[in-house]
Amino acid sequence: MPSLKKTLTDLGLEYVDLYLIHWPMGFKEDDGLFPKDDEGKSAPSDVDYVDTWKGMEEAYKLGLAKNIGISNFNHEQIDRILANSTVKPTVNQV
């Protein structure tokens, strides 16, 4: 939600037509766009993508995103989203 709200403010918009989770994983928060660990490898986030999806549902319910979806998820990850959601993804970008 914080990222979407910042994007909407930056763009001067009240909502986006489509908001996607691009990957079923994220990077460590508050450490730049592509944070690295001490060994120079990507530093993943501890946030579960199902929790991220719940934020996407909130954005949808508040009207900040007219449609929400996923990208680069495999069928097990999609099944997990469906089993733990109240709003189904509108889009599965492949």
Contact 21/71 with Cβ under 8 angstroms?
yes
A 10 A CB-CB count for 6 gives 10
Q: How many domains does the chain have?
A: 1
pTM score, whole prediction: 0.84
Q: Max CA-CA distance within the chain?
A: 41
Condensed to tens digits (0 to 9), the pLDDT of residues 14-73 reads 999 999 999 888 777 766 667 777 787 877 778 899 999 999 999 999 999 999 999 999
Q: 70 and 60 in contact (C-beta within 8 Å)?
A: no
> Per-residue pLDDT averaged across 1-25, rounded?
93
Q: Name the residue range of residue 38's domain.
A: 2-93
